[in-house]
Structure 1
Amino acid sequence: MDSKYSLIGNGNKLNISQFKIKPKPTPILFNRRNGPSSPKKVKLNDSESKPSLANGNKFKISIQEQRTKLPVYDKKNKLLDLIKRHNTLIILGETGSGKTTQIPQYINSARLQNNGKIAITQPRRVAAVSIATRVAQEFGNGQTVGDTVGYTVRFEDVTSKRTKIKYLTDGMLLREAMFDNLLMEYTVIILDEAHERTINTDVLFGIVKNAQKVRESRNLEPLKIIIMSATMDVDHFSKYFNNCQAVYLEGRTYPVNVFYTVKPHDDYQTASVATFFKIHREAPANHDVLIFLTGQEEIEAVAHQIRVLSKDPEVEGPPVRVCTLYAAQPSSQQMTVFNPSPQNLRKVIISTNIAETSVTITGIKYIIDSGMVKARTYHPATGLELLKVQRISQEQAWQRTGRAGRDSEGTCYRLYTRSQFEMMQKSTIPEIQRANLTSVALQLLALDIHALYFDFMDKPPEDAITTAFEQLKLLGAIDNVESSSLTSLGEQMVKFPLDPRFSKILLSASNFGCLVEVLTIVSLLSVESILLSPPNKREQVQMIRQKFFSAYGDHITLLNIYREFSNVGQNCRSWCHEHYINMRNILQAREVRSQLEEICTRAGLTLSSCGSQMEQVRRCLLTGLFMNVAELHRDRQYITLDKRQVVSIHPSSVLHGQQPHFVLFTEVVQTTKRYLRLLSTVEGEWLQEAAPDYFRTHSIKCARES
């Protein structure tokens, strides 16, 4: 397919490479794809699923009527009977079955939780918030979120003493377990979206399994565990949870026609835009589109292109509402994707893999799947945690495809060839087997558990666990790598919902007299980038931001930006627009900063400021990030001190084009090269002082070689 539209919207015509779709695809039926193959599964459905609500009237029936139309509704009594009889139960419920919103309500109405609470974990913040909001609406009687139904996500707790049903991220339940390892507040814990196998969910599997066992042995209030998912290896899960019963609940899914490209397309952003306008030209209004991309920057760029091009008078099709969905957005912004579209308007949602399974968006008729995802992978051998865009698995591809078959027959355009699909991994590698385990090791030590002896469903590589303990020892959180207990510093570090390195930096800041500044920097590093970089305005952006640039690097530059933002007052929107600052992200950073400041105050830290003396700030950053230092060598290459890896300064850094002898970096991104991002200059003589044990075994060339 040819496109005559400019992707930047500046009037220049840009020819997109031909994008051909196979004319006669084979329809793929999803409603029985995850059917019962294991003898442990009990199939609840004994009749055909109810027909879909038509797109035109789905918002006209009452919320209570909508509940009765869900496939799970007719199975309520059978489900409750199974939950009563089994302490642990696996429920496979296809997308759209109603399992996440309805089953907690059924348990609550039957009072199966007795006087305890029902916890439902979600891998993502947006899911916890949106589902809790919906379930609170279904309760009616003027109830709002925070009454009977509430949610808890990082830096936001919307619950009360009246709350009985609590949706929360898996990370938040894990934090609660650190302070009560038997989770006595809950009598039912539902681990939802278990197939995603996030690092926190995998750790929770072991913690809730142990809590259930200990509570039973001590004759305490019993704990029921329900594991829910749209798809999973049932035998593997059942075996881990003591050969528990599994039940299969059919959803309401429809055929989805899958189209592959004739040839590979590396520029999937351009292909996404081109494919959207092909759909836009041909499909009826109110047929909404969901595009899967990898991250905020890509999503915002494609959203901008679609907004501009859809207003071109030559473009055929109805008006377009563009919605974006990614983890860094404030909850209020994320909620807009669930708002129904007015008649004769097309909604296009551009999302990360959040929309694969975590949230259900009605009205989607078309999927555009880039086939890519952004994943963080840790390599103990190189000491680098790489943020890399990579191919999804076949399992993820089918999850994405299934989002179009919720209300009626749908279509999925895959921006890759059939042979590329067949070369994808069958399923996604669990995060626990590819992540830096330092945070996990610290959290488990807070529960007096050594990670080497923890009951993981799939054990992480031993070298990754060993590396995590070596890092915790260097940070001062433990005395030795065999230790099953924390030092007093380690106990303080656990109080922060942060990477242990950043917790250490905050705890060191009082000694350097710069806690005010370091709180700001850590908060800005805890959210998505606050810097907007429109590709067609790079020089203009550079000129406007010049006043913020610091010769000391990116951390101090970010601090300078935040300081001016804090003094702007009510004109913050126009100030952000003028300086190309992402207002949503900087406001979120301000909220995170406020929460971290509270924790610092409770920990007895003194709120001190170093004013314009930035040496203290850079020295303080070294106390946590000393393993992230690279040195310039005679061939003008940077090499990491930790594992001697060749790296380069990222072009987005204010230090790009300069050659300081030592740089401290926050993260590594792999594209054509390994790039260091978010840097500060540091002095060689500071290194020994920051971490004497570490630098005793890592050679430094303190004199610049010529």
Structure 2
Amino acid sequence: MLKQFRNEQYFCMPYLYELGWHLKGSGIIGVTEPRRISAITLADRVSNERGEILGDTVGVSVSFVDKHCSNTCVKYMTEGILLREMLADPLLQKFGVIMVDEAHERNILTDIVLGLLKKIMKKRDSLKVIIASATIDAEFFKDFFNLKTTTKSGTRKDSSVILSVEGRMFPVEVFNTQQPCPDYVKATVDTILKIHEKEKPGDILAFLTGQEEVMDVVHLLREYIQDRPKDDLQVLPMYGTLTNSDQLKVFFTAPKGTRKAIIATNIAETSVTIPGIVYVIDSGFTKLKWFDAESNTDSLIIVPISKAAAEQRGGRAGRLRNGKVYRLYTDEEFEKLSDQTPPEMRRSDLCSTILFLKALGIDNILRFDFPSPPPAKNMLASLETLFALDGLDRNGDLTNPVGYFLAELPINAMMGKMLYNSIQMACSEEILSIIAMAQVQSVFSKPTSGQGQLMARVKKREFEVEEGDLISLLNVYTAFVRNGRTKEWCGQHYVIYRNLKRAHELRQQLHTLARNKIGMPIVSCHGDINVLRRCITSGFFPNAAYLHHSGVYRTCRGNKELHIHPLSCLYTLRQPQYVIFCELLHTTKVFMKDLTVIEPQWLTELAPHYYHKAAVKYEDR
């Protein structure tokens, strides 16, 4: 039984098909990818190499894209789609082979898939599982999947093996800075310009931590291009919330005589091979989610990458020809990096994980066989949150209908509870828009020129309200739809068309899911701001903060010190006494993002089981 494979999976899958593995296992060959763009591009590549159209023998299934038929024998999909398949078919009877690609990323969905596949393998001897990655800890996963069966002669036989195949890599030169880099964003721009001016032809791939940094570099480079008489540098962004069509642009060949510079997050670190990349710029940082069980908050933290991630980024330069890697950190700093990035399962909120496993009928979550078990305090905090949201009862079972409603939705539990309560509060139309807008990153553009920045700030003020960021985002989306969802309107009001387009797509998906699968009525509150604020409070009440007398905010439970993010519409206004936040971001301080101003009495009214009034007695000392 083949359990471990180390190679580019688009070479592996045609081999499995040609050898008839889809027939031997009496089921199709499934391939999971951590990102939708990876699944689409790889499925397209394999189908092209077979001389077929995508959707015939080779199919793909991701959000917004579903191309497969009854003849499909190889199906590419995201890990989330495979988990949805398990809800309908817990033993995956229609699959003969499952391949989990890029397993070294170890995100939550990957670990859930691996744990469930091991459970399925105990029931289905015919299912073959392949774990594929270029940097994986092979022995760890061999031990995890090794079920050790006994033969008729009484000897013990391993059920998993390691098969290593060397991939093709061209020589890559690595250059480190001599001194620590004080501003890696500015250094990225400078390095790209130096490469463009002095190095031989070849495309550039630069790694940054998030969308805001990516777009900052893109704007600076495009401003540089405008001042040049010859436009010979094509600058393209790449990040997770970018629309599918914009993400695919990075794979197209640049015009003759033009160098392509791709500014990306770690979405380009694995899974996809962008043709023509010769030069890689590694900032040395990444953005990770980190869960604080004491304050029950999930934060985004910018941290140094691991050595494995650094090697993976550098490998992008040697896929098709000799390359060069420019690391914006010293050799000494590289040696201090950790060997591997901590698995997401050990550093994240587990509410969605628990809901999904409960929906699959796994009652005892504590005994579920995770590849890397999460900390007990994180598991306990998530169980308490779900109980507070009425998603679980006192026995730890899914409640009906709230628990099943939350498990059905592809959003976090607090947003799901907010959407559920919007039915009773008659504001589901607006809440759907707010949830969709919260899924994408900043919708406001940031021009580089002084006059442009001033005009962008003036236009942003037209949408901002003193009730908070979520209501302001609702105003942007409502105006966008009212004016025909055109690029011209977005340009006039300095908002990012592709992000609003993505939000509109997400809203349509949620609308269809809520109406067809759950039967949720879609009604409007007709602009009643208080109803919307109360509905937001009913879902995000665990994320409440109050203004401390010292001038900073503190969480109502946990007493964690917080600050309003500078991009919030509340940053320049008089500080409200109580706010609800959707997300925390760790940089120089712990900042609250996506804020909503609330009334303190709403906490005890809407969540009396979580908050209560208490008299504090101060004694003279």
Q: TM-score, normalised to structure 2's length?
A: 0.93
Deviations 1:93-150 (A, max 9, x none): 2xxxxx3213222222333112522111111121111111212222324x2x223222
Partner of 1:403: 316
User: Could you say which residue in structure 2 is the equivalent of 1:299?
Assistant: 214
CA distance in 2, matches of 1:528, 1:184: 38
The alignment covers a number of residue pairs equal to 597
Q: In structure 1, what is the equivalent of residue 27 of structure 2?
A: 116
Secondary structure at the counterpart of residue 694 of structure 1: coil
**Alignment counterpart, residue 225 of structure 1, candidates 123, 129, 135:** 129
- Taking a change above 3 Å as real, the CA distance of residues 512 and 486 of structure 1, as seen in their structure-2 partners, is closer
1:154 aligns with 2:31: no
Q: Which residue is 2:168 aligned to?
A: 252
Q: 1:174 to 1:487 in 2, by over 3 A?
A: same
SS state of the match for residue 627, structure 1? Answer: helix
599-608 or 152-161: bigger deviation:
152-161
Aligned to 2:83: 174
2:179 alignment counterpart: 263
Greater Cα offset, 192-201 or 356-365: 356-365
SS at match of 1:301: helix
Query: What does residue range 288-687 of structure 1 map to in structure 2 within 5 Å?
Result: 288-313=203-228, 319-449=232-362, 450-480=364-394, 482-534=395-447, 536=450, 537-569=452-484, 572-602=486-516, 603-656=518-571, 657-687=573-603
Q: For residues 348-372 of structure 1, what are the alpha-carbon distances to aligned partners after superposition, in whole Å with 9 as ceiling and x for unaligned? A: 1111111112211122111111111
Corresponding residue for residue 235 of structure 1: 139
- Distance in 1, matches of 2:398 and 2:418, equals 21
Preserved CA contact (<8 Å) 1:479 1:487? no
Contact 1:122 / 1:191 at 8 angstroms: preserved in 2? yes
CA distance in structure 2 between the partners assigned to 1:526 and 1:146 by the alignment: 29
Unaligned runs of 5+ in 1: 1-85, 94-98, 217-221, 702-706
Is residue 181–residue 207 contact of structure 1 (8 Å, CA) maintained in 2? no
**Residue 193 of structure 1, aligned match among 88, 102, 108:** 102
Structure 2 distance, partners of 1:529, 1:311, is 25
Which range moved further: 168-177 or 665-674?
Answer: 168-177
Q: Describe the SS at the equivalent of 1:569.
A: coil
Task: Quote the Cα distance in structure 2 between the aligned partners of 1:139 and 1:456.
Answer: 37
Report how far residue 428 of structure 1 moved: 0.7
Deviations 1:231-258 (A, max 9, x none): 1111111000105111111111122111
CA contact (8 A) 2:28 2:97 kept: yes
The answer to whether the 8 Å contact 1:294/1:372 transfers is yes
Q: Secondary structure, in 3 states, of the residue corresponding to 2:387?
A: helix
1:505-543 CA-to-partner distances (Å, cap 9, x unmatched) read 111111001000000000111222222233644432221
Structure 1 position 594, deviation (Å): 0.8
Task: Find the counterpart in structure 1 of residue 41 from structure 2.
Answer: 130
Cα deviation for residue 281 of structure 1 reads 1.5
- Equivalent residues of 2:295, 2:555 under 8 A apart: no
- Spell out, residue by residue over 1:436-487, the C-alpha distance to the aligned partner (whole angstroms, 9 max, x if none): 111111111111223211101111101111111111111111112x524444
The code of the aligned residue for 1:527 comes to V
d(CA) in 1 for partners of 2:85, 2:447:
41
Which range is displaced more, 114-123 or 471-480?
114-123
- Distance across 2 between alignment mates of 1:272 and 1:371: 11
SS of the aligned residue for 2:235 comes to strand
* Pair 1:211–1:659, CA change in 2 (3 A): same
Provide the TM-score with structure 1 as the length reference: 0.82
Matched-pair contact (CA < 8 Å) for 1:445–1:486: no
Most deviating of 576-585 and 653-662: 653-662
Q: Which amino acid aligns with 1:184?
A: Q
> Measured at CA, do residues 451 and 699 of structure 1 come closer, stay the same or move farther in structure 2, by a change above 3 Å?
farther
Change (3 A) 1:158 1:526: farther
Instruction: Give the distance between the partners of 1:301 and 1:699, measured in 2 at CA.
Output: 47
2:119 counterpart letter in structure 1: N
Amino acid at match of 2:294: A
Deviation at 1:261, TM superposition (A): 0.5
Q: 1:336 to 1:578 in 2, by over 3 A?
A: same
Q: Determine if contact 2:30/2:97 at 8 Å carries over to the other structure.
A: yes
Q: Percent identity?
A: 38
1:163 maps to 2:76: no
In the alignment, is the contact (CA less than 8 A) between 1:568 and 1:575 conserved in 2? yes
Q: Distance in 2 between matches of 1:547 and 1:682?
A: 22
Could you say what the CA RMSD is over the residues aligned between the two structures, in angstroms?
A: 1.8
Give the deviation of 1:700 after TM superposition. Answer: 9.3
